[in-house]
Structure 1
Amino acid sequence: MHLFDTLRSFPVFEHVPSEQLQWVVDRAEEAAFAANEPINKTGDPIDHLMLVLDGRVRIEWPNSNGDEIAMYEPQSILGVLPFSRLVKAMGQVVADRPTHALLLHRSHFRELAHACYELTEALVHQMTTRVRDFTRQAQQNEKMASLGRLSAGLAHELNNPVAAVVRSADTLKEHMRATPEAFKAIMHLSLTDDQVDSVNELIFRKIDQKPPVLTMMQRSRLEDELTDWLDDQGIDGVTDSSTLDLAGPLVDFGFTADDLDWILERIGANNLAGVVGWLVDNLVTEKLVRDISEASKRISTLVGSIKNYTHMDRGSGKTEVDLPEGVRSTLVLLDHKLKSKKISVTLDFPPDLPLVCGWPGELNQIWTNLIDNAVDALPEGGQLTIRSAVDRNEFVLTKVIDNGSGIPADIQDKIFDPFFTTKDIGKGTGLGLDIVQGIIRHHNGSIHVRSQPGETVFSICLPIQ
């Protein structure tokens, strides 16, 4: 088919006069690409309008191992368009199969705009449709990527307490098998009710008090002291453990040689080995149950944070939102990133901070993007500060402050533009701050940035009502 007839069959050119299509044919050049041949690599300059005559073209995400952004069939238009700000390829453009295309260089666009009104109108309409569709897809991908990062962080944070629960439960199971033997040993002791009660009171007092905080040297010294005391009393082999294993649990709960002297004085030397064995068995059980409880609380905190973050237990409509709660939930989910760079976080929220009216899930996306960006910009050991205050009795002003390298002055007015990013190609889409700005506008709020080396401040102002 003649090139003119092929272009006439494009639906987008249905109302374009024939002489304007011939104008394209006269100035464009034909190109052929083999299957899987790169047309433009990520970051390459985009200088041509491409009209796909035959074959198929795909655009891949940077560093995605072939995951596609879009697929263009025959009669598709891609590449640079009149009045488009596209300068370089955001992804890799590849011929998905043998492809025949017509290429019009951007140097002809000025003449095109003057000589071919209907053709220019059709191409601009194509551009706006493409930008809308691509932006919608890219924003969805950015949200999914953000969710993926949070999910990875949540899995990482859950792994440690879950492993602790499993480990402690298995140890407790093995430990409880020794209970019958310990019970037989204690049954052969000659103890009065008063003696039993006095030992029980000491045990409960030690269990209820806050565990001592010891350095490694202090702990080692106490273990040696208790081990020597037990050896002096001839207590060895009362359980399957050594005297050092007996000393460890005693130190965990703050027992000293004076406490053991007190027990010896109350129950007598003949009962000491059995009572110490029974005492340690109870302390080990308490320690394992305590470990399981602490790990379970950590799991509950993480689940509560993701529940608060997503607001899965609430309606999807506008509601009153506690901003500090959303910030704290977001920090819990990003805790692995903060820890990986040893970043310290300071929160400053007044207790009487009013609620704002908004969509909780959207507001949490603000904190996710801003905190995630701050972590990327901060050096190891950096400082992140988040504070809120009432502004003019009508707004809640929240500032996200980091002491990173700052944003260069010449790009500060561009950081909220769609697809603008200072990260390496493939490291970011440039949509995070665009999404943040869109959410804040949706809430009738505002966002401003002030940055210099050593201090970057994002100020988010949201109406109370």
Structure 2
Amino acid sequence: MQPCTIELLQSFEPLSGVPTDQLQWLLDVGTCHEFTVGENIYEIGDTFTATNFLLYGKFNVCIQQGKQINEIGISEPGTISGYLPYSRGTSSIVRVTCVQDAIVLSVSIEDIKKATHLYFELTEALVHTMITRVRFATTRQQQYEKMFALGKLSAGLAHELNNPAAAIGRNASSLSELLKNIPKIFKQTAGLKLDNAQMEIFQERLHEIIDREQVEELSMLEKSSLEDELTDWLMDHQIDDYTFAEILVDYGFTIADLDYLAEIPPDYALVPVFKWLSYHLTTSKIVKEIAEASSRISELVGAVKNFSHMDRGGDKQYINIHTGLESTLTMLNYKIKKASIEVVRDFATDLPLAKALAGELNQVWTNIIDNAIDAMATNGKGTLTINTKKERNSVVVTITDNGPGIPEEISSMIFDPFFTTKEIGKGTGLGLDVVMRIIDQHHGSVKLKSEPGNTSFIVCIPINEK
């Protein structure tokens, strides 16, 4: 084993100004350990038991994101890791693996705590290291938090966009097939030589049926029963289009409606006229579905634009809080539906505009709502309630879920950086820290109230900074 010397410790940048007697004390109370390639000095979740000074060798530093372990850096000689005085970090959020045979000087937590009472310069150096480490880790973790959140939103948004896009593709193909048969249908109906009066009456009755208000939506069983009845009617009248009945049910047709229309054309024209009717209604339905799907895509694109506020500057503006909440719900809609969560909007109708950074506030809503969805996942379903109101000179948004709740013993720590109740790899522990920083930036407040089955985050945003 290579020697552990005062000169070696003085090569550590934070320790360069520490008196030699204090460095000698470190050597006296510390223990040198050898690590070979492949050995871990920390595993994710390990509790810190010592402060470690890397004297020789190198370590690979990795973090877990989802199901993957990703490298974020290399520790080289001169690195101080593990427990540091006055730090809230008590366990490792990274995996540290030896990639070049190493020697580490380990000083127990108990001895480091003694040093805080005995040696000012050494304590100052270690605290400075702690601050530097927190700044670096926070910056890196915030980047991962944003990418982690973006990945989840992107996955849900891709699914939401895929559904209407696929519907447009299917309907466009169906419409193309229908249009190929239009000349044939036109030839059949044109050869019937029906007078204009008959056609006008038929058109009037048809629009009378289509345009009337639907009394109530039919259940699946009622629809199936009505389809059977309409199919029987069509077969009795030698109309062998078996998909026609489904279209008729969608438009609210009854047996009485078919009898009403069948009174107009002569018997020899009934089949061609109803064949034309089938094509007309099918084409209209497809066009309607394409319009609805394209409208859904436009809605999602608009939600993305509102969510990110791509067309706005970086200054605070008076914004509608409800717009941001709705955009966030749209972005998270896939996850909400997948978790069988009902969303209850209890929005104040007279809520004033608030001066804020819209994009930043959307991060707040995303983090809180996403956490609520994850919390309710244990139930298999849930209810998310969003309440808004004006309270004195502030807008108050309360987001409530009926998940298992947050235990009282950890409720005071949930806004701390890196604190998370989620499994390793499923959360960075920075979501609520981001929430707190953004709300502080707006001179507002965020509070937690939680009990089993009822957890609320109350966000208060001043209407005007002044």
**Class of the TM-score when normalised by the shorter of the 2 chains:** over 0.9
Q: Secondary structure at the match of 1:129?
A: helix
Conserved in 2, the CA contact under 8 Å of 1:43 and 1:88?
Answer: yes
Residue 371 of structure 1 is matched in structure 2 by 369
Aligned residue in 1 for 2:109: 106
Q: Assess if the C-alpha contact under 8 Å between 1:223 and 1:244 holds in 2.
A: no
Structure 2: which amino acid aligns with 1:414? M
Q: Contact between 1:62 and 1:91, CA under 8 Å: does it hold in 2?
A: yes
Match of 1:294 among 289, 292, 295: 292
AA aligned opposite 2:348 = P
Show the 5 A alignment for 1:256-271: 256-271=254-269
In structure 1, distance between residues paired with 2:63 and 2:42: 12
Match of 2:89 in 1: 86
Structure 1: tracts of 5 or more residues without a match: 236-241
Counterpart of 1:172, as a letter, is L
C-alpha offsets along residues 329-378 of structure 1, whole Å, 9 cap, x if unaligned?
11111122222222211111122210111111111111111111111222
Match of 1:22 in 2: 24
Aligned length: 458
1:99 counterpart SS class:
strand
State TM-score, norm by structure 2: 0.93
Partner Cα distance (2:407, 2:47) in 1: 24
The alignment status of 1:125 with 2:128, answered yes or no, reads: yes
Does the alignment pair 1:181 with 2:180? no
Distance in 1, matches of 2:243 and 2:323, equals: 44
Change (3 A) 1:114 1:406: closer
Aligned to 2:280: 282
Answer yes or no: is 1:345 the counterpart of 2:343.
yes
Residue 154 of structure 1: CA displacement?
Answer: 0.8
Provide the rounded CA distance (Å) in 1 between the counterparts of 2:94 and 2:52: 16
Match of 2:147 in 1: 144
Q: Distance in 2 between matches of 1:124 and 1:357?
A: 38
The answer to whether the 8 Å contact 2:35/2:103 transfers is yes
Which amino acid letter does the alignment assign opposite residue 108 of structure 1?
A: D
RMSD: 2.0
Q: Deviations over 1:255-300 (max 9, x none)?
A: 3333333333222111111111111111110111111111111111
Give the 3-state SS of the residue equivalent to 1:459 in structure 2: strand
* Aligned mates of 2:436, 2:414 — CA distance in 1: 10
1:424 aligned counterpart, secondary structure = coil
The 5 A counterparts of 1:327-346 are 327-346=325-344
Deviations 1:214-243 (A, max 9, x none): 2233223332332222333233xxxxxx33
Structure 1 residues 430-439 or 276-285, which shifts more? 430-439
Of 193-202 and 395-404, deviating more is: 193-202
Distance, in Å, in 2 between the alignment partners of 1:84 and 1:220 is 67
Structure 1: distance between partners of 2:229 and 2:112: 89
Paired residue type of 2:395? V
Tell me the residue number matched to 1:436: 435
Match of 2:225 among 197, 221, 225: 221
The residue aligned with 1:320 is 318
Asked whether the 8 Å contact 1:219–1:251 carries over to 2, the reply is yes
Name 1:389's counterpart in structure 2. 389
**How far, CA to CA, are the matches of 2:221 and 2:128 in structure 1?**
75
Q: Relative to structure 2, which stretch is displaced further, 186-195 or 422-431?
A: 422-431
1:173-199 superposed Cα distances (whole Å, 9 cap, x missing partner): 122111121121112111111122222
Q: How far 1:209 sits from its partner (Å)?
A: 4.1
63-72 or 48-57, larger mean C-alpha shift:
63-72
Matches of 1:115 and 1:233 in 2, distance apart?
103
Q: How far 1:128 moved relative to its partner? A: 0.6
Q: Percent identity?
A: 45
For 1:3, the equivalent position in structure 2 comes to 4
Matching of residue 65 in structure 1 with residue 68 in structure 2: yes
Q: Distance in 1 between matches of 2:170 and 2:340?
A: 27
Aligned to 1:230: 234
> Please, what TM-score do these two structures have when normalized by structure 1?
0.93
Cα deviation for residue 399 of structure 1 reads 1.1
- Contact 1:12–1:122 (CA<8 Å) still a contact in 2? yes
Q: Measure how far apart 1:172 and its partner are.
A: 1.1
Picking from 15, 33, 36, the partner of 1:34 is: 36
For the 8 Å contact 1:203–1:279, the answer to whether it is kept is: no
Structure 2 residue 172 is matched with structure 1 residue 164: no
Q: Please say if residues 41 and 93 of structure 1, whose CA atoms lie closer than 8 Å, have aligned partners that are also in contact.
A: yes
| 2:206/2:261 contact within 8 Å kept | no
In 1, Cα distance between equivalents of 2:301 and 2:285: 24
Match of 1:367, SS state, is helix
Farther-moved stretch of structure 1 (40-49 vs 80-89): 80-89
The CA deviation at 1:207 is 4.0
Whole-Å separation in 2 of the counterparts to 1:203 and 1:339? 38
Q: Aligned partner of 2:4: which letter?
A: L
Q: Distance in 2 between matches of 1:86 and 1:232?
A: 80
The alignment partner of 1:266 has SS state of coil
Secondary structure, counterpart of 2:18 in structure 1: coil
Measure the CA separation in 1 of the matches of 2:424 and 2:261. Answer: 70
